[in-house]
A and B are shown apart, each in its own frame.
Chain A
Amino acid sequence: MRLFVKIRSLSRNLFASRRVEADLSQEIHCHLQMLTEENIRAGMTQEEAQRAARLELGGIEQVKEQVRDERIGNWLRSVLSDCRYGLRQLRNNPGFTAAAVIVLALGIGANTSLFSVVNGVLLRPLPFPHPEQLVILRESKPNFATGSVSYPNFLDWQRENRTFTSMSVMRGGRSLILTGIGEAEQINAVLLGPGFFEQLGVNPALGRTFAEDEVRIGGAPTVMLSAAFWERKFGSAHDVLGKTITLEGKDYSIIGVVPASFDFLGSLRSVDVYMPIGQWSNPLLTSRAAGLGIGGIGRLAPGVTIEQARSDMERVTRNLAATYPDANKGIGAAVIPLNKWMLGNTESFLFILFGAVGFVLLIACVNVANLLLARSTRRTHEFAVRAALGAGQTRIVRQLLVESTLLVSFGGGIGLMLAALGTKTVLRMLPTTLPRSAEIGVDADVMIFALVISFAAGILFGLAPALKTARRDPQQSLQEGGRGGSGSRHRLQGVLVAAEVSLALVLLIGAGLMIRTLSTLRNVSPGFEANKILTFGFSLPPSMFNANPDSVRAALREAQDKFQAAPGVQAVSFTWGAVPLSGDDEWLFWIDGQPKPQTESEMNWAIDYVVGPDYQKAMGIALKSGRFFTAQDDEHAARVAVIDEVLAKKFFDGQNPIGKRLHVNSAEETTEIVGVVGHVNQWGLDSDDKETLRSQLYTPFMQLPDKTMAQNASGIGVLVRSDKPATVFGSIRQVNSRTRSGQVVFGAQTMEEIIASSLGDRRFSMILLGIFAALALLLSSIGIYGVISYIVGQRTREIGVRIVLGASRADVLRLVFIEGAKMTAIGLLVGLAASFGLTRLVANLLFGVSPTDPLTLAAVVLLLAAVSLLACYIPARRATTVDPLIALHSE
C-alpha cells in the first residue's frame, strides 16, 4: 500500500510536474494571503500586513525550492533537468558538439570494432564441448617440430595411449574431379580418421557420420557432404542419402550432411565433401615413414593434464622407435592444446593492435578533455553566477559530468554503429584470414565493452575539467568578467597536448617500423622472379585415371605443348613435390660412395622439386654451373638431378658437385648431378635462412617412377611464366577447353599472391597500425591547433598591448610558436622514451629493422614536429594580425 502511494507520488512528480507546480504555487499564494489577513485582523495596515507576511514566509521561490528538494524522485528530476540543460548547451555549440562527438565516435568505434575481433577470435570459447580437452597431435622430427603423422603410427598411438578418450586424423587440401552432376569440376575434399565428428561433439545435419569399418583401408566408399555443397548440387534435398556421387571415376554413397556452422581450424570453410581416410588411394598411406600432411586431433580423458598426455605419448613413441627403428628413430609426439595451435601468433599481434587502438581512444579523450577545458573557461562566468545563486560544487560538477555523459553517449552510440557496420567490411578488405573470423560480430559482450569504455572515457575526459572548474573561486571569476585566468589552466592543457603528442609518436613509430619491415621484405629476393609466375592445378579426364604411365606421360606432354602455345605464355613446367612458399615435400638421399645409412631417419634430407625442362627458365632461377634439364632427360634417359647452392655447400663443400652421384629415396640406382642453381626461399621471404632444412634437389618430371606418374592423371601442378600472370589464365582456360573434354584447370594463383598471403599477418598489422597512427596524428594535430588557437584568443589583449609597445610580427609569431613548440618537444621526448619500451613488443613482427631504427625514429619525430608546428602556425598567423585598437577595446 505504502509503496503504491510512493509510486503514485513519483509518477505525479515526474509526469504531471506542471500540475504539481501549479498546485504548490497556489498553496503558497493562499498561505501568504491568509497570513496577510491575519496581520490585518491584528490591526496592521494593508501594506504593513503584506510586508510582515512576506517576511514570515521568507521568499516564495526559496520555499518552493525547499519543497521540491523534499519530493520523491527529486534526484531523478534534477538529473533530468541537468540533461535538458546539457542538451541545450550542446545544441547551442554545434561546432564543439560535432567535434567532440566525431572524435569520440572514431575512438570508441575503432576500439569496439577491434574488441569484437579479439572477442570473436581469442576470448570466446571454441564451439565444441569441453574445448580445453582438445589437442593437436603431430610427429616431432629432426627437421620439423610439428611434422605430419604417418597413418600406421597414428593407429599405434590410438591403440597404445592411456590418456586420451579418443584420437583421430585429418588430411585436408585434396582436389578431386567430380563428374556426373553437370560439367566436370574440381572439388575440395578432406580425409578424416575414425570418430572425427564424435570427438568434436558435432552431429550431422542429416544422415549419419562414418562408421568405424568405413574409415579403414578397404572400407565401403562413402562420403559426407558439406552443407554448402549439398545446397549447390542437390538443392538441400533430403532424399540425397543413399545416392552416389562420382569422384575421380569412383562411386561414393552419400551417408550424411555436415552442419553449415561446422568449421575446424578455420580450414574447412571451403570444403565440399568429407571422406574416410581409408579411401585415399595413395600407396604411401601404409608407409610408416611417409610424411603425407596428415594431422592428428585428440581429446584428453577428463582430468588429464597436457603434461600427463605428453609424457604418456613420450612412452608410446619411445616404444615405437624401438620397434620400428628404421622409420621411427628420433620421432616423438607433439601435443599442443587446440586453441594455442589455432591462434599461433595471431594472439600477440591482435593484442598489440588492441593496445594501439587503446592509444587512439586515449588521444581522443585527451582531445575532448581539451575542448571541454577551453569551453569551461569560457563558461566560468556562468558557473560563478550559478555558484553565487546557491548551486553547490557537487551540483556544478554533476552538471559538467552530465554534459560529458551526453557527449559520450552520442559518441559511443555512433561508434558502436560504426563498429557493427564496419568491422566485417574492413576484415574482408584486409589481406589475411583470421582464425574463426566467421565468429566475429557485435554481440552482448561487445555492447557491454562499448558501454564500459564509453563511460570510462566520459569520466576520464570529463572529470578533470569539471573539478578544475568547480574549484574556481566564484568571486574572482566574476571580477575577471569571463576573461578566465591564464597560468595553471594553460599548464593543464599543455600537459594534455604533450600527452597526445607522445601517444601519437608511439603509434607512428610502430606503424613506421611495420612499413620499413614490409618494404625490406619486398626487396628480399626470393631467388626467383615472382612477378612473372602463375601456378594452377591440372587434371586429365577421369577416363585417364586408370591409364598406364606411358599414356599419362603422352597426355601430359600434349597438354604441356598446348599450354606453351597459349597466347601470353612464355614457358611452362609441370611441378610435383614442393612449390616455393606454398607446399613443401622432402626426399631422402645419400651420396654414392658413402655407406648407406642404417635407418631412414639418419639419411640426408632435401626439399624436392620435380619439374620440367623449362622450370628454371620460367622461374628465373639463376644457373650457377652445369646445365638444367632438357627434353631429353626423360623416362628413357639416365637419371639426372640439379642441386641448389645450399646443398652443394653442405654436402660437397669445396668440391665440384657436377658429375657426382646420389642415391635418391633409397634407390640402388644412382642419379647424376648435372647442374647447380641458386637457392630459392622455400619457407618464406623472412624466415628461410633460419630453417634447418634448406637443401634443394631438382629432378626431371618425366623421370618420376611409373607408379607416381599414373597418379598424376588426377591432379598435377602447372607453373607458367608470363608478362601478365594475373590475366594469362583466361587464355590457358580457353586452350584447355579445346584440347580434351573432361580435362580441368583450376586454382590459379600468381606467385605474387602467394607471397602476399605469406606476409598477410604483417600487412594486416601494418595497415591497421597505419590507420591508427594516421588517426592519432590527425587527432593530436587538431588538439594542438585547438589549444594554441584558444591560448591566442585568451591573450589577444596581451598581444595587442605588445604590438602597441612596438613588438614586430616576428616577435608575436615567435611568442606563439614557442608556446606550441614547448608542448610538442615535451611530448616528443616522453613519446620517444615510451617507444623504446613499447616497440620491443612488435619485435617479432619486424624484419631487417631494429625496434629502435634511427631512420624511422628520426622520420617520425620530424613528421610529428612539422605537423604540430603547422598546427601552431595558423593561430600564430592570426595573432600577428591582431588589431591593437580592437583588442584593447574588446573588454
Chain B
Amino acid sequence: MDSEPTTLLQGTLDLLILKSLVAGEMHGLGVSRRIAQLTRGTFDVKPGSLFPALHRMDEEGWISSFWGDSENNRRAKYYRLTKAGLKQLEAETKRWGRISWAIAQALEAS
C-alpha cells in the first residue's frame, strides 16, 4: 500500500468506504471485509489506513458512528452513512467516473 500514490488512494478509499456503507451500518472490520469483497480482493485495507479515514469522514459528517453489539455479541463501533455522506458518494462517483474515463482515453490514445 505504501507504494501507491496517497492522493489518489485517499480519494479512492473514501469512495470505497462510502460505497460499502450503502449496504447498511457496519463496524471497521466489516467495512474492510466489504471493500475486499467489492473489489474482489484487489484492495485489502489495513487498519492503519482504514481507521484514520473512518475518523476523518466521521468528523466531516459524511458518516456517523455509534457503539453496538457485533454478530458475536461483542461491543463494536458501528458506522453508518449520513445524508451528507450519500451526497458525497454521488459526487465522488461522478468524479471518479470522469477521472477513469479520462485516464482510459489517455491510455488508449496512440
Per-position 1/0 for B59-73, Cβ under 8 A of A: 111000000001010
Asked, given contacts A2-B60, A27-B77, A72-B59, whether A67 binds B29 with beta carbons under 8 Å apart, the answer is no
Per a CB cutoff under 8 Å, which of A30, A35, A58, A62 touches B77?
A30
**A34 close to B52 (CB less than 8 A):** no
Please tell me if B80 contacts chain A, counting CB pairs below 8 Å.
no
Instruction: Point out which of A6, A33, A38 has the most chain B C-beta atoms below 10 A from its C-beta.
Output: A33
A30 vs B76: C-alpha distance in the bound complex, in angstroms? 6
For B58, what are the chain A residues with a Cβ–Cβ distance below 8 Å? 9
Asked, given contacts A1-B84, A2-B84, whether A31 binds B47 with beta carbons under 8 Å apart, the answer is yes
Which of chain B's residues 29-84 have a Cβ closer than 8 Å to chain A? 29, 46-49, 51-53, 55-56, 58-61, 70, 72, 74-77, 84
For B28, what are the chain A residues with a Cβ–Cβ distance below 8 Å? 27, 31
Which of chain A's residues 32-52 have a Cβ closer than 8 Å to chain B? 33-35, 37-38
Please tell me if B27 contacts chain A, counting CB pairs below 8 Å.
yes
A1 vs B29: C-alpha distance in the bound complex, in angstroms? 29
**A34 close to B59 (CB less than 8 A):** no
For A463, what are the chain B residues with a Cβ–Cβ distance below 8 Å? none
Minimal Cβ-Cβ distance residue in B for A20: B55
**B76 close to A71 (CB less than 8 A):** no
Asked, given contacts A70-B53, A70-B56, whether A34 binds B76 with beta carbons under 8 Å apart, the answer is yes
**B51 close to A35 (CB less than 8 A):** no
A34 vs B48: C-alpha distance in the bound complex, in angstroms? 16
For B55, what are the chain A residues with a Cβ–Cβ distance below 8 Å? 24, 67, 70-71
**B61 close to A5 (CB less than 8 A):** yes
Per a CB cutoff under 8 Å, which of A1, A35, A62 touches B48?
A62
A37 vs B55: C-alpha distance in the bound complex, in angstroms? 24
**A5 close to B53 (CB less than 8 A):** no
Asked, given contacts A28-B47, A63-B48, whether A6 binds B27 with beta carbons under 8 Å apart, the answer is no
For B51, what are the chain A residues with a Cβ–Cβ distance below 8 Å? 24, 27-28, 31, 63, 66-67
Please tell me if A183 contacts chain B, counting CB pairs below 8 Å.
no
For A2, what are the chain B residues with a Cβ–Cβ distance below 8 Å? 60-61, 84
**A70 close to B52 (CB less than 8 A):** yes
For A31, what are the chain B residues with a Cβ–Cβ distance below 8 Å? 27-29, 47, 51
Per-position 1/0 for A823-838, Cβ under 8 A of B: 0000000000000000
Please tell me if A57 contacts chain B, counting CB pairs below 8 Å.
yes
A352 vs B60: C-alpha distance in the bound complex, in angstroms? 57
Q: Tell me the smallest distance from the CB of B5 to a CB of chain A, in Å.
A: 18
**A6 close to B52 (CB less than 8 A):** no
For A34, what are the chain B residues with a Cβ–Cβ distance below 8 Å? 27, 29, 70, 72, 74, 76
Q: Tell me the smallest distance from the CB of B7 to a CB of chain A, in Å.
A: 14
Minimal Cβ-Cβ distance residue in A for B70: A34
Q: Interface residue tally of chain A, by bracket?
A: 20 to 34
Q: Chain B interface mostly helix, strand, loop or mixed?
A: helix
Q: Interface residue tally of chain B, by bracket?
A: 20 to 34
Please tell me if A443 contacts chain B, counting CB pairs below 8 Å.
no
Q: Tell me the smallest distance from the CB of A30 to a CB of chain B, in Å.
A: 5
Q: Tell me the smallest distance from the CB of A244 to a CB of chain B, in Å.
A: 80
Please tell me if A69 contacts chain B, counting CB pairs below 8 Å.
yes
Per-position 1/0 for A63-102, Cβ under 8 A of B: 1001101111000000000000000000000000000000
Q: Tell me the smallest distance from the CB of B56 to a CB of chain A, in Å.
A: 4
Per a CB cutoff under 8 Å, which of B46, B53, B60 touches A6?
B60
**A71 close to B60 (CB less than 8 A):** no
Q: Tell me the smallest distance from the CB of B16 to a CB of chain A, in Å.
A: 17
A33 vs B28: C-alpha distance in the bound complex, in angstroms? 12
A27 vs B49: C-alpha distance in the bound complex, in angstroms? 14
**A58 close to B59 (CB less than 8 A):** no
Per a CB cutoff under 8 Å, which of A5, A27, A63 touches B60?
A5
Per a CB cutoff under 8 Å, which of A23, A27, A56, A70 touches B46?
A56
Q: Tell me the smallest distance from the CB of A763 to a CB of chain B, in Å.
A: 66
For A58, what are the chain B residues with a Cβ–Cβ distance below 8 Å? 46-48
A128 vs B75: C-alpha distance in the bound complex, in angstroms? 76
A28 vs B77: C-alpha distance in the bound complex, in angstroms? 9
**B47 close to A56 (CB less than 8 A):** yes
For B53, what are the chain A residues with a Cβ–Cβ distance below 8 Å? 70
A767 vs B52: C-alpha distance in the bound complex, in angstroms? 63
For A70, what are the chain B residues with a Cβ–Cβ distance below 8 Å? 52-53, 55-56
Instruction: Point out which of A5, A28, A62 has the most chain B C-beta atoms below 10 A from its C-beta.
Output: A5
Per a CB cutoff under 8 Å, which of B48, B49, B74 touches A33?
B74
A37 vs B70: C-alpha distance in the bound complex, in angstroms? 12
A69 vs B76: C-alpha distance in the bound complex, in angstroms? 23
Asked, given contacts A31-B29, A72-B59, whether A63 binds B84 with beta carbons under 8 Å apart, the answer is no
For B29, what are the chain A residues with a Cβ–Cβ distance below 8 Å? 31, 34-35, 38
Per-position 1/0 for B77-100, Cβ under 8 A of A: 100000010000000000000000
For B77, what are the chain A residues with a Cβ–Cβ distance below 8 Å? 23, 26-27, 30
List 9 other contacts, CB 8 Å, given A31-B51, A34-B76.
A1-B61, A1-B84, A5-B61, A28-B47, A35-B29, A56-B47, A57-B48, A66-B48, A70-B52
A-B contact pairs, 22 of them (CB 8 A): A2-B60, A5-B59, A5-B60, A5-B61, A5-B84, A6-B59, A24-B51, A26-B77, A27-B76, A28-B47, A28-B51, A30-B77, A31-B28, A31-B47, A57-B48, A62-B48, A63-B51, A66-B52, A67-B52, A69-B52, A70-B56, A72-B59
Question: Residues on A close to B: CB < 8 A?
Answer: 1-2, 5-6, 9, 13, 23-24, 26-28, 30-31, 33-35, 37-38, 56-59, 62-63, 66-67, 69-72
For the complex of A and B, list the 10 residue pairs with the smallest distance between their C-beta atoms, beginning with the closest.
Answer: A5-B61, A9-B59, A70-B52, A70-B56, A27-B77, A66-B52, A34-B29, A67-B52, A72-B59, A67-B51
